[in-house]
Structure 1
Amino acid sequence: MESVRLTEAVGYTVGELLLISAEAFDARVAGTTLRRVLIDWPWREIDPDSANSWDGTVAFPRDPDSYDWCNTPWRLEPDPSDLEAGDSCFIGIPPTKVIVIGIEKFEPPADFGFLPRPEYVLEVVPVDMLDDEEAGFVLYLNGEEPIELERVSVDG
């Protein structure tokens, strides 16, 4: 798998300001550790032909004050520190302004162990964390996650 760095693709441009959001959806807690809550990810399938294994979960910090929340737009309700295996929760993305800092195209689509295999990735960072070199996350443009992406003007 090779990736190509681009400055624009599929209608997006590096430096562009976006507003991202996702309605809160029901999800199930698959398990917990001292530091993480594992959520059964409802928008991806395990790739049976993958060279990589993925167990169908995505991990989030249990501590609501954890720095790791800078690396995901998703938020959980109730508070992740209160969740236990088998619990139901809501997962969504509150409206968040982000800047596109990179665009990557995978040729062939990336094998991360899940389907659909990512083809294009937007690398973004929340506007209020632009000075933090460690903050940011990626959005898989051909993924099934119900993320709304809206272009906004710099003064909007």
Structure 2
Amino acid sequence: MSERGFQVGDHLSLECAPSDAEVSKIAGRYAFIAWPWREVDSRSQHRWNGQVAFPRSSDSFEWLNTPWRIEPDVGMLEEGDVCMVGIPPTRVIVRAVRSYDPAKDLGWLPRPSVGLSVVPVGDFEDDDEAGYMIYPNGAEPIIIHQI
């Protein structure tokens, strides 16, 4: 499937093999993970620090807004710990397809040219607040299958 071949309503399966990552910082309700795939874009208008924040409580609604999972449980991690971050097989529905020309400046490399707004299949399909954006041609080795 081409990157631009996605359509609203498509049912997809996402997964990403786990990769080692380090906990950069613990701050309040969040653990900041040094993202193992992207590079900081020094020419960007935005300043990304190479980290992605995750809620420390697995009961948090925010976990519905990310496909990423961390092992061991993020609530058990401390600064400097090594963890695994990846996407277990996850079924989603495409809510929106965004094409960026030129590629979108988000503060990291590679700059994405396609973004998919997706929501997990199940109880939250009708919740406008649930879901997340994935970048099929981003640095993360996300495997996407149409189902």
Same fold (TM > 0.5): yes
Pairwise TM-score range, normalised by the shorter structure:
over 0.9
Larger deviation: 71-80 or 105-114? 105-114
CA distance in 2 between partners of 1:117 and 1:34 (Å) = 30
Q: How many residues align?
A: 145
CA distance in 2 between partners of 1:33 and 1:123 (Å) = 28
CA gap of 1:20–1:9, structure 2 versus 1, over 3 A, is closer
Report deviation, 1:105.
1.1
**Pairing 1:71-150 to 2, within 5 Å after superposition:** 71-128=65-122, 129-150=124-145
CA distance in 2 between partners of 1:15 and 1:130 (Å) = 11
**Pairing 1:55-74 to 2, within 5 Å after superposition:** 55-74=49-68
CA distance in 1 between partners of 2:118 and 2:3 (Å) = 14
1:135 is paired with a residue whose SS is coil
Deviation string, structure 1 residues 31-73 (Cα, Å, up to 9, x no partner)? 1111111111111100011111000000111011000001100
1:13 is paired with a residue whose SS is coil
CA gap of 1:9–1:141, structure 2 versus 1, over 3 A, is closer
TM-score normalized by the length of structure 1: 0.89
TM-score normalized by the length of structure 2: 0.94
Letter in 1 for 2:67: P
CA distance in 2 between partners of 1:67 and 1:26 (Å) = 25
Return the match for 1:53 from 47, 53, 58: 47
CA distance in 1 between partners of 2:75 and 2:134 (Å) = 25
Determine if contact 1:31/1:38 at 8 Å carries over to the other structure. yes
List alignment gaps of at least 5 residues for structure 1: 1-7
**Residue identity (%):** 48
RMSD: 1.3
1:68 is paired with a residue whose SS is helix
Return the match for 1:22 from 16, 19, 26: 16
Deviation string, structure 1 residues 95-143 (Cα, Å, up to 9, x no partner)? 1110011000112211111111111101100011202211101111210
Runs of 4+ in 1 over 6 A off after TM superposition: none
Report deviation, 1:150.
0.7
